[in-house]
Copies of this chain bind each other. A is one copy, B any other.
Amino acid sequence: VNKVDALNTAFNLKNVAIVGVAPGEAGFNTGRLFLSAIVEYGFPGRIYPVHPDGGEVLGLKVYPSISDIPEAVDYVISCIRAPLIPRLIRECSEARAKVLCLFTAGFSETGISSNQELESQIGELARETGVRVIGPNCMGIFSPRARFSYAADFPKETGRAGLICQSGGNTLYIIRAAGARGITFGKAISYGNGSDIDETDLLGYFHQDSEIDMVAMYIEGVRDGSRFRRALKELAVEKPLVVVKGGRTPKGVSAVASHTASLAGSDELWEQVLKHAGAIQVDTLDELVDMLVALSLMSPPGEKRVVSLGMGGGAGVLAADEWDRAGFAQPPLPEEIAEEFRTALGNPAGTSMNNPIDVPHFGLGNPNFYEALKSLMSWDGFDFLAFHLPLRGMMLTMSVGDMVISMETDTLMNLRQETTKPMVGVIHYLANAESWQYAAKYAERLQKAGIPVFYSVASTANAINRLIGYHNYPGYTADGSSG
């Protein structure tokens, strides 16, 4: 099979085999972690644990080998040792198994030449037999549409983002962190050393995939630069592509060598290539998630004029500094609007009613304040509203939480209905589990209403700057055609 058909099969898998599942009910190894996650997540297809000892595990029959399974398997996960892989590929070929995912590591990333040769051999065997290989040294595919996951806690919803990730751990984090921010993936793949299906194949795959609207990528290196650049550009011209490049410093580059054995390339070259292609380069995984949030939930503001509204004078001062430092203008409100805010709240002492607008406790629940907010939103002197909530910088503890959450979010959600002007929420001053729990509830409501939420003013400004930059990129046209 060709790689596109193989990926189609894998992302729509109807059955799965896991080779190297520890036998016995008390057994524990990575194969068992895969197996129990697949079961717990709710995969509706047939599941075939494989181990020479046979027996039963989690109530499932264990098959001694791939060839003992009574049907052709769509997707095989290998957790056995590297030297056994060539034989496994041949067995898969004979049993007409279609795609092999190698969690198995111990190849070129070890720096040992015999292991490097083994990896080349695997690539060749894949091409020869048509059993397409994902990995080695990876987690493989996540497909919520097929209800298939190797982590039981991954989101159940199918989103329209795609993920191409060279690191298994980073894949786990990106999917979980994005899920907590209301961003779900339709298809995600952790591809490790990429001995057969590589980064370029995956860019091409998501380029032609009408179920995927935007792509996130973590990459450590490429095998074929010119093919990669072409695929990068083809994708980025049509769909937003956000990229974290791992291994940008000399020490990062050497860590890459022992992680996925990729040639990391120079940081300058990568920046140029990504910029030229119209991809959005970010520095950290959290910035990657921020960028997906911005792309999914907000239209780019026309100019960089923000009105900031929130609780706490000191938090407002630091927020004003952050917006200013990031190049955003903070225009003073027209006097009649400032006056409307002041009057709404009975001229409260100790709160600024200009920009930033300092809302006292429970201010957002006031109907006159809401009218003032509506007047503000129709003022054409600014481009977006930033609401900031310094959670652990308020006198109230979390005990009054749920009431405040619905009152405040209702106000913002109603406002969202009445205007097309972009709005963002900044929930900050967190620092403990209780406040993250509160923040999650708050964020969930806002996200569902189409208001993106970020966790610091600096990261919000950063994401919006990149969003504006992306939409102003000369190669970008609103209809998605190549500019």
| Interface of A toward B, CB cutoff 8 Å | 30, 33, 37, 81-82, 104-107, 109-110, 137, 139, 150-153, 165-170, 172-173, 176-177, 180-181, 218, 220, 244, 246-252, 254-256, 258-260, 284-286, 289, 311-321, 323-325, 330, 349-352, 354, 356, 358, 390, 392-397, 429, 431-434, 436-437, 439-440, 458
Q: Contact between B350 and A246 (Cβ–Cβ < 8 Å)?
A: no
Q: Contact between A176 and B255 (Cβ–Cβ < 8 Å)?
A: no
Given A110-B349, A137-B350, A170-B315, verify A252-B321 contact (CB < 8 Å): yes
* Neighbour of A167 across the interface among B110, B251, B313, CB < 8 A: B313
Residues of B within 8 Å of A110, CB to CB, are 349
Closest chain B CB from A298 CB (angstroms): 20
Chain B residue nearest to A30 in the complex (CB): B395
* Neighbour of A249 across the interface among B259, B321, B458, CB < 8 A: B321
Q: Contact between B392 and A285 (Cβ–Cβ < 8 Å)?
A: no
The 7 closest A-B pairs by CB, nearest first: A167-B314, A105-B350, A106-B349, A169-B312, A249-B324, A252-B321, A173-B393
Q: Contact between A393 and B170 (Cβ–Cβ < 8 Å)?
A: yes
* Neighbour of A168 across the interface among B285, B314, B317, CB < 8 A: B314
Q: Contact between B349 and A104 (Cβ–Cβ < 8 Å)?
A: yes
Residues of B within 8 Å of A393, CB to CB, are 169-170, 172-173
Residues of B within 8 Å of A320, CB to CB, are 247, 249, 251-252, 254-255
Q: Contact between B321 and A251 (Cβ–Cβ < 8 Å)?
A: yes
Given A354-B258, A431-B180, verify A321-B246 contact (CB < 8 Å): yes
Q: Contact between B314 and A169 (Cβ–Cβ < 8 Å)?
A: yes
Residues of B within 8 Å of A107, CB to CB, are 349
Cα distance, A244 to B315, chains bound together (Å): 12
Closest chain B CB from A438 CB (angstroms): 8
Q: Contact between A432 and B106 (Cβ–Cβ < 8 Å)?
A: no
Given A170-B315, A251-B320, A317-B167, verify A350-B220 contact (CB < 8 Å): no
Chain B residue nearest to A165 in the complex (CB): B314
Q: Contact between A433 and B437 (Cβ–Cβ < 8 Å)?
A: yes
Q: Contact between A172 and B321 (Cβ–Cβ < 8 Å)?
A: no
* Neighbour of A173 across the interface among B169, B248, B252, B431, CB < 8 A: B431
Chain B residue nearest to A326 in the complex (CB): B249
Closest chain B CB from A183 CB (angstroms): 12
Cα distance, A440 to B349, chains bound together (Å): 38
Closest chain B CB from A170 CB (angstroms): 4
Closest chain B CB from A274 CB (angstroms): 16
Given A153-B397, A350-B106, A395-B33, verify A256-B317 contact (CB < 8 Å): yes
User: Would you mind naming 16 contact pairs between A and B with Cβ atoms under 8 Å apart?
Assistant: A104-B349, A167-B314, A169-B312, A170-B314, A170-B318, A173-B392, A177-B429, A218-B314, A250-B324, A251-B323, A252-B321, A252-B324, A255-B320, A258-B313, A258-B352, A259-B358
Residues of B within 8 Å of A429, CB to CB, are 169, 173, 177, 285
